[in-house]
Amino acid sequence: MKKSTIVFFIFLLLSFTNLAQNTSAAPINLSQGIYNVRDINLPIGSPVTARINDPNGRVIIFVIDNNQYMRELTRLDSQSNEQTLKPFNYGYSVIIFGNTPVTFS
């Protein structure tokens, strides 16, 4: 009985450790389009960094809240290829307009 309890607790410890490692935020690459923040799994309540890797690329990012008010407008180009965006809330939408993919991290 004692051995099975110890094995069970070790199994639980390993499974929770594995679960904590899987929840880390991986970079998300998005091209031109309209996206719901919840659908693309962007973090809610913490700042997000948007960047382009193409030195000749240009992108405009609009952040719209659930009442259709513009919360943020950002332009990424060769001069400023990385920008930190304000924290997102549920119901926000992101509109990406440009010729190169954007990486959110």
CATH number at residue 62: 2.60.120
Provide the 3-class DSSP secondary structure of residue 8: helix
Rounded Cα distance between 57 and 101, Å, is: 9
Residue 79 resides in a domain = yes
Q: Which domain holds residue 31?
A: 27-104
Six-digit token string for 12? 């639980």
**Percentage with pLDDT > 90 across the chain:** 41
The whole model's pTM is what?
Answer: 0.72
Kindly indicate the confidence band of residue 60, based on its pLDDT and cuts at 50, 70 and 90.
very high
Residue 104 has pLDDT above 70, yes or no: yes
pLDDT of amino acid 64: 94
CA-to-CA separations, 52 to 63, 82, 103, in angstroms, rounded? 17, 7, 6
**β-strand partners of 95:** 34, 62
Above 60 in pLDDT, residue 72? Answer: yes
Q: Is residue 92 part of a domain?
A: yes
